[in-house]
Amino acid sequence: MNFKLLIILFLAMITSTSSNAQDIQSLGKLHFNSDGILFAGDNVSGAVLAFNFTSEITPSETFEINIYNVDAQVAAILGTLQDQIQINDIAVHPTSREVFISVTRGHGDNALPALLKVDAENNIHTIDLSKVEFTSQSLLSVPHSSHKLALRGSMGSPPTKKDIAKSKQSLRILTVVDMEFYKGELIVAGLSNEDFNSVLRRLPYPFEGEESISSVEMYHIAHDQYESRAPIRSMVIKNINGRDQLVAAYTCSPLVLIPLEDITHNTKVKARTIGDMGNGQPIDIVPFKLEGEEMLFVTNNSRSPRVIPVKGLHNAKVVSKEDFERGPKLDLGPIIPYGPMGQSIMFTGASLRIDLLNDHQFVSLNRDIETGSLDLVTFNTKMPFKMHNIVGEFDIPTPSSN
Amino acid sequence: MLMILSQNLASQTNSALLTPTEPDGSVSLELSELLPENVKTHPERFFQVYVNHDHNAHLELAIQGTYSLNGNALSFSPIYPFDLGISYTVKYRSSLATEEFLIQSFIIGENQIVTSPEVLNIYPTGEFLPENLLRFYIYFNNPMEKGYANTFIQLTNAEGDVDSNAFMEFKDELWSANGKRLTLLFDPGRIKQGVSTHSELGPPLLEGNNYKLTISASWQDVYGQKLSVNTIKKIEAVHAYRDKINYNDWTILEPEANSKLPLEIHFDRMMDHALIRSMIRISKKDETSICGFWDFSDHEHSAYFIPEENWVTGDYIITIDRNLEDITGNNLHGLMDTFGKEKTQKSISDLKIPFSIQ
**Does the CB of B323 have a partner CB in chain A at under 8 Å?**
yes
Find the residue in A nearest to B48 (Cα): A77
**Does the CB of A125 have a partner CB in chain B at under 8 Å?**
yes
* Domains held by chain B: number: 3
Instruction: Name the minimum distance, in Å, from the CA of A138 to any CA of chain B.
Output: 13
Taking CA atoms, B204 is separated from A283, B127, B152, in Å, by 48, 15, 17
Cβ–Cβ of A73/B59 closer than 8 Å?
yes
DSSP A247: E
Same domain, B231 and B126: yes
Type of residue numbered A374: L
Same domain, B350 and B255: yes
Same domain, B195 and B232: yes
pLDDT at residue B86 in the model: 87
Which residues on chain B are in Cβ contact (under 8 Å) with A7? 188-189, 195
Same domain, B123 and B234: yes
pLDDT at residue B342 in the model: 63
The number of C-alpha atoms within 13 Å of A238 and in the hemisphere containing its C-beta is 22
Instruction: Let me know if residue B260 belongs to a domain.
Output: yes
pLDDT at residue B297 in the model: 92
Which residues on chain B are in Cβ contact (under 8 Å) with A25? 172
Q: Are A315 and A354 in contact (CB under 8 A)?
A: no
Same domain, B103 and B124: no
The distance of Cα B74 from the centroid of its chain, to the nearest Å, equals: 23
Which residues on chain B are in Cβ contact (under 8 Å) with A43? none
Distance CA A361, CA A363 (A): 7
Instruction: Let me know if residue B69 belongs to a domain.
Output: yes
Give the ipTM: 0.86
Cβ–Cβ of B64/A112 closer than 8 Å?
no
Instruction: Let me know if residue B113 belongs to a domain.
Output: no
Instruction: Let me know if residue B112 belongs to a domain.
Output: no
Same domain, B103 and B158: no
pLDDT digits 0-9 by tens, A73-117: 999 999 999 999 999 999 999 999 999 999 999 998 889 999 999
Same domain, B93 and B204: no
Same domain, B253 and B289: yes
Taking CA atoms, B349 is separated from A14, A54, B264, B353, in Å, by 18, 20, 23, 12
Same domain, B45 and B153: no
From B188, B204, B238, the end of a domain falls on B238
Closest to A78 (Cβ–Cβ): which among B55, B80, B176?
A: B80
Instruction: Name the minimum distance, in Å, from the CA of B176 to any CA of chain A.
Output: 5
Residues 6+ apart with CB under 8 A from B285: B314, B315, B316, B317, B354
Percent of chain A residues past pLDDT 70, beyond the cut: 94
Closest to A105 (Cβ–Cβ): which among B80, B168, B188?
A: B80
**Does the CB of B55 have a partner CB in chain A at under 8 Å?**
yes
Between positions 283 and 302 of A, the ones with CB within 8 A of B are: none
From B221, B238, B255, the end of a domain falls on B238
Distance CA B158, CA A145 (A): 36
**Does the CB of B56 have a partner CB in chain A at under 8 Å?**
yes
Higher pLDDT among residues B288 and A167, named by residue: A167
Cβ–Cβ of A3/B189 closer than 8 Å?
yes
Peptide bond into A337 cis (omega under 30): yes
CATH code, domain with B79: 2.60.40.3710
Same domain, B326 and B220: no
**Does the CB of A132 have a partner CB in chain B at under 8 Å?**
no
Cβ–Cβ of B189/A45 closer than 8 Å?
no
* Closest by CA position to A73, among listed A123, A133, A136: A123
Closest to B83 (Cβ–Cβ): which among A14, A45, A80?
A: A80
Cβ–Cβ of B79/A20 closer than 8 Å?
no
pLDDT at residue A13 in the model: 41
Instruction: Name the minimum distance, in Å, from the CA of A7 to any CA of chain B.
Output: 7
CATH code, domain with B205: 2.60.40.1220
Lowest mean pLDDT among A196-210, A243-257, B83-97, B188-202: B188-202
E runs forming strands in B97-209: 101-107, 119-123, 128-130, 135-140, 153-157, 174-175, 181-185
Instruction: Kindly indicate the confidence band of residue A202, based on its pLDDT and cuts at 50, 70 and 90.
Output: very high
Q: Are B101 and B92 in contact (CB under 8 A)?
A: yes
**Does the CB of A10 have a partner CB in chain B at under 8 Å?**
yes
List the pLDDT tens digit at each of the 358 positions of chain B: 333 333 333 334 456 889 998 899 999 988 777 677 777 788 888 889 999 866 555 568 999 999 998 878 899 999 999 998 888 989 888 777 777 888 888 888 765 556 788 999 999 999 999 999 999 999 999 888 888 898 999 999 999 999 988 998 876 788 887 788 999 999 888 888 877 777 777 889 999 999 999 999 999 887 778 898 999 999 999 999 999 999 999 999 999 999 999 999 999 999 999 999 989 999 998 888 898 889 999 999 999 999 988 999 999 999 999 999 999 999 988 888 877 666 666 666 889 999 999 8
pLDDT at residue B195 in the model: 77
Instruction: Let me know if residue B79 belongs to a domain.
Output: yes
Instruction: Name the minimum distance, in Å, from the CA of A128 to any CA of chain B.
Output: 6
Instruction: Let me know if residue B299 belongs to a domain.
Output: yes
**Partners of residue B235 on adjacent β-strands:** B211
Instruction: Let me know if residue B252 belongs to a domain.
Output: yes
Task: State the residue range of the domain holding B101.
Answer: 3-107
Between positions 32 and 51 of B, the ones with CB within 8 A of A are: 49-51
Same domain, B125 and B89: no
Taking CA atoms, B344 is separated from A137, A370, B172, in Å, by 21, 63, 32
**Does the CB of B66 have a partner CB in chain A at under 8 Å?**
yes
Which residues on chain B are in Cβ contact (under 8 Å) with A12? none
**Does the CB of A2 have a partner CB in chain B at under 8 Å?**
no
Closest to B172 (Cβ–Cβ): which among A25, A69, A75?
A: A25
From B107, B134, B169, the end of a domain falls on B107
Among B168, B171, B192, B339, pick the best mutation site for testing chain A contact (most A Cβ within 10 A): B171
Same domain, B281 and B332: yes
pLDDT digits 0-9 by tens, A358-388: 999 999 999 999 999 999 999 999 999 999 9
Distance CA B126, CA B235 (A): 8
Find the residue in A nearest to B82 (Cα): A79
Among A7, A84, A375, pick the best mutation site for testing chain B contact (most B Cβ within 10 A): A7
Find the residue in A nearest to B173 (Cα): A45
Cβ–Cβ of B51/A84 closer than 8 Å?
no
Peptide bond into A206 cis (omega under 30): yes
Cβ–Cβ of A78/B64 closer than 8 Å?
yes
Distance CA B313, CA A361 (A): 55
* Closest by CA position to B104, among listed B35, B1, B13: B13
pLDDT digits 0-9 by tens, A382-394: 999 999 999 999 9
Between positions 64 and 123 of A, the ones with CB within 8 A of B are: 69, 72-73, 75-82, 84, 105-106, 109, 112, 114
**Does the CB of A25 have a partner CB in chain B at under 8 Å?**
yes
Cβ–Cβ of B175/A11 closer than 8 Å?
no
Which residues on chain B are in Cβ contact (under 8 Å) with A14? 188, 329
DSSP A84: G
Find the residue in A nearest to B53 (Cα): A76
Cβ–Cβ of B323/A69 closer than 8 Å?
no
Cβ–Cβ of A144/B196 closer than 8 Å?
no
pLDDT at residue A60 in the model: 87
Instruction: Let me know if residue B114 belongs to a domain.
Output: no
Distance CA A50, CA A60 (A): 27
Higher pLDDT among residues A3 and B264, named by residue: B264
Instruction: Name the minimum distance, in Å, from the CA of A104 to any CA of chain B.
Output: 12
pLDDT at residue B201 in the model: 79
Taking CA atoms, A181 is separated from A27, A228, A262, B254, in Å, by 18, 23, 16, 47
- Residue A260 backbone dihedrals phi, psi, to 5 degrees: -60, -30
pLDDT at residue B190 in the model: 86
Cβ–Cβ of B62/A80 closer than 8 Å?
no
**Does the CB of A6 have a partner CB in chain B at under 8 Å?**
yes
Which residues on chain B are in Cβ contact (under 8 Å) with A77? 61-64
pLDDT at residue A22 in the model: 55
Mode of pairing for the β-strands spanning A268-270 and A212-220: parallel
Cβ–Cβ of B188/A10 closer than 8 Å?
yes
pLDDT at residue A169 in the model: 92
Cβ–Cβ of A20/B278 closer than 8 Å?
yes
